[in-house]
């Protein structure tokens, strides 16, 4: 009976350790996914800004060129 109690106690400790490890892994994965999403959103924002600026500059330059042709 003492051995059975010991085995049961070890089983409970193992279950607790496994549960804590699972929770820690899930938390780490969620944090990693969150960071990846934030990084992705930042990259998209930066690329969008660069494209917008490039297009704006090109249109401005073209308009200036057309203005000079009309003079």
Residue 56, domain member (yes or no) = yes
Overall residue count recorded for the chain in this entry: 71
Q: Would residue 64 count as lying in a domain?
A: yes
41 occurs within a structural domain: yes
| pTM assigned to the model | 0.57
- Residue 67 CA to residue 70 CA, distance in Å, equals 5
Q: State the total domains in the chain.
A: 1
- The pLDDT assigned to 1 comes to 66
Q: Has residue 30 been placed in a domain?
A: yes
Q: What pLDDT score does 71 carry?
A: 67
pLDDT tens readout for residues 2-55: 778 888 888 989 999 999 999 999 999 999 999 999 999 999 999 999 999 999
Model confidence pLDDT, tens digit, residues 54-71: 999 999 998 888 877 766
Predicted local confidence at residue 34, as pLDDT: 94
* Residue 28: domain span: 22-71
For residue 17, which of 9, 63, 54, 39 has the smallest C-alpha distance? 9
What does R_g of the chain's alpha carbons equal in angstroms? 31
Q: Please report whether residue 2 resides in a domain.
A: no
Residue 68 lies in a domain: yes
Closest CA to 7 of 19, 20, 15: 15
Two structure tokens written together for 10? 């070890």
């Amino acid at each position: 009976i003492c051995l059975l109690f010991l085995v049961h106690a070890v089983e409970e400790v193992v279950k607790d350790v496994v549960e804590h490890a699972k929770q820690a892994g899930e938390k780490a994965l969620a944090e990693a996914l969150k960071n990846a999403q934030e990084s992705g959103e930042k990259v998209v924002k930066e690329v969008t800004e660069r494209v917008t600026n490039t297009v704006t500059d090109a249109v401005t330059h073209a308009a200036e060129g057309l203005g000079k042709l009309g003079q």
